Amino acid sequence: TNNIYELSLSVVPFLSLSSSNRSFNFSSFFEMYSKLYPNRSKPTQSFLEWFIGFTEGDGSFIVTNRRSLQFVITQSSVDVQVLYYILKNLGFGKVILQSKSNKIHRFIVQDISHIFLICLIFNGNMVFFTRNSRFLTFLSVYNDLALRLKLEIINPILDTLLPTLQDHWIAGFTDAEGCFTLSLLSNSIGYRLRFILSQKWEVNKSVLLHISYLFGLGTVSPHSAPNNWEFIVNGVKNTSHILPYFDTYTLFSKKKESYYLWKQLRIQLINGDHLNSDSRLEMVKLAKCINKS
């Protein structure tokens, strides 16, 4: 177990220079899923690409003190529908209320046969270096359990891969960690229209730089919080370059509603509605609804 974990950590500093040019590959998962559920439709390639991006933002690979395994995605209860979307597509796991007072739900997988499927999905298909290291630790514990229980083990794939504008990973990660914003002051004609992706740890910065390269614009800079980085696309002209991607690769959380409202207000900016005092006041109200459920 420790050997896999130590090796994954040792290669992390070099991954920014050697991330694989492989694309997402779910052949092992599809084969095993069909064996376990021959009469059930398999999750689609597009869903799984989105699912990995979303998990790399909001998911957790948990090893308990007793070395049992849990795969968990936590969401505000106002966006619980996205957890049921995941449940419906995977066909396993469960959605539970974690905290009624704090309005938090979780999608959780604990059954060892389903943990096996989760490991097949993520093995060799992760993007962020720190997330992949945590997954490899999780996978090594699964393999220990599999040996003891005489189940099938999984050979770990240590390297990460990079997303493209022809897959759903960025949409999934945006559903988890993205933000569409418009700032308008009621007493000024100025505004700030932005799209933002955030991620922690400098070792992951190269992924944000890669996304900037894919779109051909944007900046990657430190956030005010320590060890946090942001990819930012700013302005009406620049944000036009991200629209084709998000119009093609659908969001599935409440961010989808935010994106549509943000696009609507962007058109109003182009039309000059922000220059009229009455329409600007209405735009200020709508802008406050972006990213609010």
pLDDT value of position 227:
87
Same domain, 125 and 176: no
Q: Are residues 130 and 79 in the same domain?
A: yes
Is the domain of 241 the same as that of 194? yes
* Domain that residue 206 falls in: 170-290
- Phi first, then psi: what are they for 70, rounded to 5°? -140, 135
Are 137 and 177 in the same domain?
no
Whole-number pLDDT of residue 291: 83
The amino acid that residue 182 corresponds to is L
Give the count of domains, the chain.
Answer: 2
Together in a domain, 182 and 264: yes
Res. 293 pLDDT band, cuts 50 70 90: low
Q: Give the burial class of 79: count Cβ atoms within 10 A of its Cβ; 0-12 exposed, 13-18 middle, 19 or more buried.
A: middle
Q: For residue 274, with 0-12 CB atoms within 10 Å meaning exposed, 13-18 middle and 19 or more buried, which class applies? A: buried
Residue 2 lies in a domain: no
Q: How far apart are CA 124 and CA 255, in angstroms?
A: 27
- AA letter at 49: E
pLDDT tens column, 70-109: 999 999 999 999 999 999 999 999 999 998 888 999 999 9
For residue 199, tell me if it sits in a domain.
Answer: yes
* 101 and 49 both lie in a single domain: yes
User: Considering the domain boundaries, does residue 282 fall inside one?
Assistant: yes
Domain co-membership, 178 together with 279: yes
- Residue 22's pLDDT is 86
Report if residue 221 sits inside a domain. yes
Q: What is the pLDDT of residue 20?
A: 65
What is the dihedral angle through the alpha carbons of 290, 177, 162, 18, rounded to the nearest 10 degrees? 140
- Whether residue 157 lies inside any domain: the answer is no
Q: Which of 121, 132, 112 is nearest to 51 (CA)?
A: 121
Give the mean pLDDT of 152-166. 96
Question: Residue 19 falls within a domain, yes or no?
Answer: no
pTM: 0.90
pLDDT (average), residues 116-131: 97
* pLDDT per position as a tens digit, 210-264: 999 999 999 999 988 888 999 999 999 999 999 999 999 999 999 999 999 999 9
Mean pLDDT over residues 41-62, rounded?
97
Q: Please give, one letter per residue, the 3-state secondary structure of the chain.
A: CHHHHHHHHHHHHHHHHHCECCCCCCHHHHHHHHHHCCCCCCCCHHHHHHHHHHHHHHEEEEECCCCCEEEEEEEEHHHCHHHHHHHHHHCCCEEEEEECCCCEEEEEECCHHHHHHHHHHHCCCCCCHHHHHHHHHHHHHHHHHHHHHCCCCCCCCCCCECCCCCCCHHHHHHHHHEEEEEEECCCCCCEEEEEEEEEECHHHHHHHHHHHHHHCCCEEEECCCCCEEEEEEECHHHHCCCHHHHHHCCCCCCHHHHHHHHHHHHHHHHHCHHHCHHHHHHHHHHHCCCCCC
Question: What is the structure's pLDDT at 5?
Answer: 29
Average pLDDT estimate for 32-53 = 97
Residue 234 carries which side chain, given as an amino acid letter?
Answer: N
Q: Which of 99, 116, 149 is the last residue of a domain?
A: 149
Last residue of a domain, one of 119, 149, 179: 149
The pair of structure tokens assigned to 204 is 């992951």
Identify which of 98, 70, 73 has the alpha carbon closest to the alpha carbon of residue 83: 73
* Residues 128, 176 within the same domain: no
Nearest alpha carbon to residue 156 among 183, 182, 122: 122
Final residue of a structural domain among 98, 115, 149:
149
Q: Are residues 203 and 232 in the same domain?
A: yes
Tell me, what's the pLDDT at 7? 31
Domain assignment present for residue 98? The answer is: yes
Contact in structure between 125 and 136 (CB atoms under 8 Å): no
CATH code at 208?
3.10.28.10
